[in-house]
Amino acid sequence: MLKIHSKFAFVLLFSLSFAAAVAGQEPETVRVTILHLNDTYQFTPVDGGKRGGLARVMTLRKEALKDNPNTLMTLGGDTLSPSVETRTYRGKQMIDAWNAVGLDYSVLGNHEFDIRTNEILDRIKESRFTWLGSNVIDTKTGKIFADMPPFVIRQIGGVKIGFIGLLLPETKETSSIEEHLQVADYCQTAQELIPKMRAAGANTIIAVTHLFMAQDKKLAACAPGIDLILGGHEHTLLQSSAAGVPIFKMWADAREVGKFDLFIDKKTGKLASMDWRVIPVTDQIADAPEFAPVIAKYKDLLDQLEVRIGATSVPLDALSYSVRNKETDIGNFIADAYRNAVGADIGFVNGGSIRADLSYNPGPLTKRDVLSMLPFNNPIVKVEVTGKMLMSILEHGVARSAEDSEPGRFPQVSGLKFTFDAGKLPGQRVIDATVGGKRVVDDAVYTIATSDFLVSRSGDGYTMFKEAKVLLAADKAPKDSEVFEKAIKDSPNATISPKVEGRITRLN
């Protein structure tokens, strides 16, 4: 029975049968357990210590292995970056953590490519688990990035299971991936590899993906032969199916572990049935003592991050779903901070750069809180645009708002108000926009404070910033988290009270 109380609720138990019993008897099967997580950026607990934490996940894995030695663990991508710790350790802390936990397979996520290519290669070499990126091609060599295997065939309990890893094409827009690395079409890649996996003896195939749910559904339909898709990217507990293929994603930062018991026919190697449940990772689960060396190794940095820098007198909404879909209080504060820091007419923040994915209660704000919300260390540059360009920028910002994809391009703004209708045709979605209380005019000139990621790298697809005149370049610009921290400290009594003010109005 499937039981869902809300978007962030816990699915308790669901059993899905793929094959009927033969002559009233179940076929002889072997049980293989898969533990799955995705989008896990830090190894310490989140939500005030109440949820997540890889020391707890390690305890769950140990328990699963006791129950079933045929247990594997998978990760749906996004772990090396972004995080507070990665600013210092460049993702090495997460490799140490996953090595301790006992991860088996991880697909590359788009944010793996926030760090430099040579750093990713070092992290892969340090991993005691296997990375998969079947559709990430190095055009310099014509091979899969980092000489990763196109797929893995794992023999366990006398049956062979095939694993394939696929990354979303939007990685080019949402990360700093180098030009010579190309993300090939995931459907075409799967269509080419699945017959090879079958030929190698895998009759049960699992796709570990970092795609949008709509893309996972397309994959299920376009590449017959996949039995199960374990994904990531949305940061939200999701379950769906397409073409008879079940698709699952967990909530971010190890708040949940998906447990999937696969019953595979020993004679045919095919998936006969599957049971699954979602296990909340809470403070009721004890830390595995074997994880303690990882905590000890990074203790100095962890302690420094708990230094108080100010407070908030109101709740703050830094949830990914919020900052990527609507005006938020913290989005307004950060956009104001950007605008004031460089003296611009407009502050413009792509929602995807606000990373904490948390709601904050009134109370102290620490160094970790600031860096968790803005972990990328991006320069805040100042550019000059025309009114026509500004309208094009806003159109792009809301272009995917009609889709259920939590678009990172969605803007949080300051000095600007606009109204949009997501249901209208491209070029017609932004109904009205004003700067300083005056309607935007095509040939007028406006200054914008925003991340250099959008300007110099066309991040989140903002190619129109390429035409902007740069007034304050990245090499002389303040960094995002520094601007944010200073704005908190400069507030009365170092206490902030941002609110939603009607800067963004959505009609549909």
Give me the residues paired with residue 205 across strands: 162
DSSP state of 153: E
DSSP state of 441: -
Buried b (16+ CB within 10 A) or exposed e, 465-503: beebeeebebeebbbbbbbbbebbeebeeeebebeeeeb
Res. 15: pLDDT tops 90: no
User: What is the per-residue pLDDT across 286-340, written as a single tens digit (0 to 9) for each?
Assistant: 999 999 999 999 999 889 999 999 999 999 999 988 999 999 999 999 999 999 9
The residue assigned the tokens 């910002």 is 397
Report CA dihedral (351, 352, 353, 358) to the nearest 10 degrees: 80
- The dihedrals phi and psi of 202, each to the nearest 5 degrees, come to -85, 115
The number of residues making up the chain comes to 508
Q: Supply 302's token pair.
A: 């962890």
Whole-prediction pTM value? 0.84
Q: Please report the DSSP string for 344-409 in residue order.
A: -SEEEEEGGG----EEE-SEEEEHHHHHHHS-S--BEEEEEEEHHHHHHHHHHHTTTTTSSS--TT
Asked if the bond preceding 315 is cis, omega within 30° of 0, the reply is no
Instruction: Report the pLDDT value the prediction gives residue 27, as an integer from 0 to 100.
Output: 57
Q: Mean of the pLDDT values across residues 374-402?
A: 95
Instruction: Report the pLDDT value the prediction gives residue 404, as an integer from 0 to 100.
Output: 60
Q: Mean of the pLDDT values across residues 158-164?
A: 97
Q: Residue 351's closest CA among 422, 401, 425, 418?
A: 401
Q: Residue 365's closest CA among 481, 502, 199?
A: 481
Helical pair 117-126 and 92-101, crossing angle rounded to 10 deg: 20
Give me the residues paired with residue 36 across strands: 74, 258
DSSP E strands in 211-367: the ranges are 228-230, 238-242, 245-249, 256-265, 271-280, 308-312, 316-318, 346-350, 358-360, 363-366
Instruction: Report the pLDDT value the prediction gives residue 405, as an integer from 0 to 100.
Output: 66
Residue type at 73 in one-letter notation: M
* pLDDT range class, residue 358, cuts 50, 70, 90: confident
* pLDDT range class, residue 400, cuts 50, 70, 90: confident
Alpha carbons 199 and 197: distance in angstroms, whole number: 5
Q: Where are the alpha helices (DSSP H) in 102-185?
A: 117-126, 171-174
First to last CA, the chain: 34
* pLDDT range class, residue 202, cuts 50, 70, 90: very high
Instruction: Report the pLDDT value the prediction gives residue 11, as an integer from 0 to 100.
Output: 36
**All domains of the chain in start order, with CATH:** 27-299 (3.60.21.10), 307-506 (3.90.780.10)
User: What is the per-residue pLDDT across 255-279, written as a single tens digit (0 to 9) for each?
Assistant: 999 999 999 999 999 999 999 999 9
Q: Are strands 504-506 and 416-420 parallel, antiparallel or unpaired?
A: parallel
User: What is the per-residue pLDDT across 76-89, written as a single tens digit (0 to 9) for each?
Assistant: 999 999 999 999 99
Give me the residues paired with residue 71 across strands: 33
Distance of alpha carbon 105 from the chain centroid: 17
Q: Are strands 228-230 and 204-210 parallel, antiparallel or unpaired?
A: parallel
Res. 432: pLDDT tops 60: yes
User: What is the per-residue pLDDT across 39-85, written as a single tens digit (0 to 9) for each?
Assistant: 999 999 998 899 999 999 999 999 999 999 999 999 999 999 999 99
- The Cβ-side half-sphere exposure at 337, using a 13 Å CA radius, reads 28
Q: Mean of the pLDDT values across residues 411-429?
A: 95
User: What is the per-residue pLDDT across 440-468, written as a single tens digit (0 to 9) for each?
Assistant: 999 999 999 999 999 999 999 999 999 99
Query: What contacts 156, CB < 8 A, 6 or more positions away?
Result: 30, 32, 70, 72
- The dihedrals phi and psi of 192, each to the nearest 5 degrees, come to -75, -35
